Structure 1
Amino acid sequence: MADDLAYIKHLADGYDRELVLQDLMENFGEDVWNFAFFLTQRSHVADDIAQEVFLAAFTGMYAFRGECTVKSWLLTITRNKSLHYLQGAFFRKVTLTDRFIATGSSPAAERIVFDRMDNRELWDIVMSLPRKYREVLILDYHYGLKMNEIAELLHVSVGTVKSRLHRAKTKMNALLTLNMEES
């Protein structure tokens, strides 16, 4: 599958970069877009960020050394571009305006929950979590990254990842329990 793209670390002049880019987009396009959306919570922004990510991958693909997986490399670029967007003054103004205008802890339970991606209520709960918790949940459960890959991607220690993941699970469990009691 997508891990078969390890050939990318051996690219040299002469490879057809457009074919490599197409390969990347086919294998990781949905993951990149989803992660951008999870971080920004805006589909039109996720569209723009996904395009920027693959443009960056296209221009920097010869520099990829294979020190991480291709997926982790692309998700790192996605996170950086998403955070850059979120830090922009335009975003803060629009988000503030939108707010005025717009009106379980066990791993088995979480695995079941994340396997039901079409459940809108669940994703609303995930999206309501603070970004630092949302990120670790998505990277761990949805993308299946290892703790050390998540730590490297987020530029934090493995202990911080574990702590955030534990807190995210606790918050998800509380929100899911509350949601079930209200139903």
Structure 2
Amino acid sequence: MAFEYLKSISGGMDKNAVLEELMHVYGDDVWHYAFFLTRRKELADDIAQEVFVKVYERLYSFRGEATVKTWLLAITRNLVKDHWRSAWMRRVIPFGLRRRADGGPSAEAEAMGRFVAEEVWRIVLELPRKLREVLLLHAHHQLTHTEIARLLSLSEGTVKSRLHRARAKVTQRLNEEGAQ
């Protein structure tokens, strides 16, 4: 979905249809990014919903300086930051991640693959927020260094450095846990 697609709104396209398309195309990315930052499903649900409310209100203000995906992730990040700064959040002590109880694996290979993926995500979630966020934006959302730098208001060199440190820490932790 490109900027031209959003510009077509003024050409008579229904604002609700555009929002529905944005939610369909980018809804999972917004939710996963919110969850990755907050580590709470319910809060990620609320933030993702609020992101699309803000998008609906500001749909005509999209300037096209970044991709639509980067714009949505920036809104998501700002809403998470607003939540962290809120007085309510400072009074509440967040609890750790709750693990889902999945059903039994259908095959040994599938079980091992899931185990490895869970371990990697657990290690990534334990990274400091600055490293975790850059790694997620690059690996999961496939943003470029330039897009990440714009989104986080950092230099590209800082993004590259944080990405390198994040990968090194994940590799080090995987090697440590593999040796045990």
Is the TM value for this pair above 0.5?
yes
Aligned residue identity for 2:74: T
Query: Are the counterparts in 2 of residues 37 and 46 from structure 1 also a CA contact under 8 Å?
Result: yes
Q: Rg: which structure is higher?
A: 2
The residue number in structure 2 matching 1:109 is: none
TM superposition shift of 1:6 = 4.0
Structure 2: where are the runs of 5+ without partners? Answer: 99-112
* Partner amino acid, structure 2, of 1:53: V
Please give the alpha-carbon distance, in whole angstroms, between the structure 1 residues aligned to 2:59 and 2:171: 40
Q: Which has the higher contact order (CA 8 A, sep 6+)?
A: 1
Matches of 1:81 and 1:161 in 2, distance apart? Answer: 21
CA contact (8 A) 2:3 2:64 kept: no
Contact residue 36 and residue 78 of structure 1 kept, 8 A: yes
The equivalent position to 1:131 in structure 2, one of 115, 129, 132, is 129
- Cα deviation, residue 117, structure 1: 7.7
CA contact (8 A) 1:36 1:46 kept: yes
| Matching residue within 79, 82, 88 for 1:81 | 79
Provide, for residues 32-86 of structure 1, a one-character-per-residue CA deviation record: whole Å limited to 9, x for no partner: 0000000011110000000010001111011112111110000000011011112
Q: State the distance in 2 between where 1:69 and 1:147 align.
A: 13
SS in 1 for 2:51: helix
**TM-score, normalising length from structure 2?**
0.83
Residues of 2 paired with 1:146 and 1:56: CA distance? 25
SS at match of 1:160: helix
Listed one character per residue, the Cα deviations across residues 70-105 of structure 1 (whole Å, up to 9, x for unaligned) are 100000000110111122232233236x37xx9xxx
C-alpha change, 1:66 and 1:117, in structure 2 (3 Å) is: farther
Are residue 37 (structure 1) and residue 35 (structure 2) matched? yes
CA distance in 2, matches of 1:71, 1:162: 20
Q: Which residue is 2:118 aligned to?
A: 120
Once the two structures are superposed, the pairs formed by residues 51-130 of structure 1 within 5 Å of their partners are 51-95=49-93, 98=95, 119-130=117-128
What count of residue pairs does the alignment treat as equivalent? 164
Percentage of matched positions with identical amino acids: 48
Instruction: Give the TM-score of the pair, scaled to structure 1.
Output: 0.82
Stretches of structure 1 that go unaligned for 5 or more consecutive residues are 103-115
Gap change, CA 1:9 and 1:131, over 3 Å in 2: farther
- Mark the CA change 1:170 to 1:8 in structure 2 (over 3 Å): closer, same or farther: same
Q: Deviations over 1:87-139 (max 9, x none)?
A: 2232233236x37xx9xxxxxxxxxxxxx788222111111111111111010
Query: Once structures 1 and 2 are overlaid, which stretch shifts more, 39-48 or 173-182?
Result: 173-182
Q: Does 2:152 correspond to 1:154? A: yes
Counterpart Cα distance in 1 of 2:7 and 2:156:
25
Kindly provide the amino acid, as one letter, of the partner of residue 153 in structure 2.
Answer: H
Hey, what does 2:138 align to over in structure 1? 140
Amino acid at match of 1:82: V
Assess, with a 3 A threshold, how the Cα gap between structure 1 residues 16 and 54 changes in structure 2: closer, same or farther: same
AA at the equivalent of 1:62: Y
